Chains A and B, each alone.
Chain A
């Protein structure tokens, strides 16, 4: 069965530090992978997506993610975190059958 795991429930980083949020998926075929961000009281905003081709994808707000098939991972990274990046981040996989599967999210706190 398809599933998405985000091992880190909560992460705290200092402003200006680098960030990596982990995402592992379980899916038999080539997955379509997404990262979303949710600010308090808001819906989910798409950060980036991976369908095929270059395994390093660039997104909005300076985020990037790398698809590693051998590790079934799609980790999100940012070289220098800003205080405005504090939010909840969700990894998702689009599967055949037209359904999306979401991880339980990682809450990011940024300290000055």
Chain B
């Protein structure tokens, strides 16, 4: 099976712009989670989608949003970018929603905000 794919891999934006990141989960996986990774902060949970519905949300401002399509592909959007949004954004998919369902990660999208 193909792994989790994320596009684009790298992105440079300026403050105030908005950005959309895309994630295609492993075939058959219905849950997609998004994480922000910055040095020293580790992985911060953004949100999780399952069957096109947001099921969990982390402690991020409303500028961060997401959605999931019927084919389980997911997008996340960040509006009004700030310098502090520079990070590696990771997407992870898993078959279901149980705590035992292993997450499989994509390579990430490196976002740089200038």
A contact residues vs B (CB 8 Å cutoff): 32, 34, 36, 41-46, 49, 51, 90, 94-105
Give the residues in chain B near A94, CB-CB below 8 Å: 99-101
Given contacts A98-B48, A99-B56, contact A44 B105 (CB under 8 A): yes
Binding site for A on B (CB under 8 A): 4, 33, 35, 40-43, 45, 48, 55-56, 90, 92, 97-108
Q: Does A98 lie within 8 Å of B98, measured CB to CB?
A: yes
**Chain A residues within an 8 Å CB radius of B104:** 46
Q: Are B105 and A104 in touch, CB under 8 angstroms?
A: no
Q: Are A99 and B48 in contact (CB under 8 A)?
A: yes
Q: Is the CB of A43 within 8 A of B103?
A: no
Q: Which of A36, A42, A98, A101 makes the CB contact (< 8 A) with B107? A: A42
User: Can you list 22 A-B contacts (CB < 8 A)?
Assistant: A32-B100, A36-B105, A41-B107, A42-B107, A42-B108, A43-B108, A44-B90, A44-B105, A46-B103, A46-B104, A49-B102, A51-B100, A90-B42, A94-B100, A98-B48, A98-B56, A98-B99, A99-B48, A99-B56, A100-B33, A102-B43, A105-B42
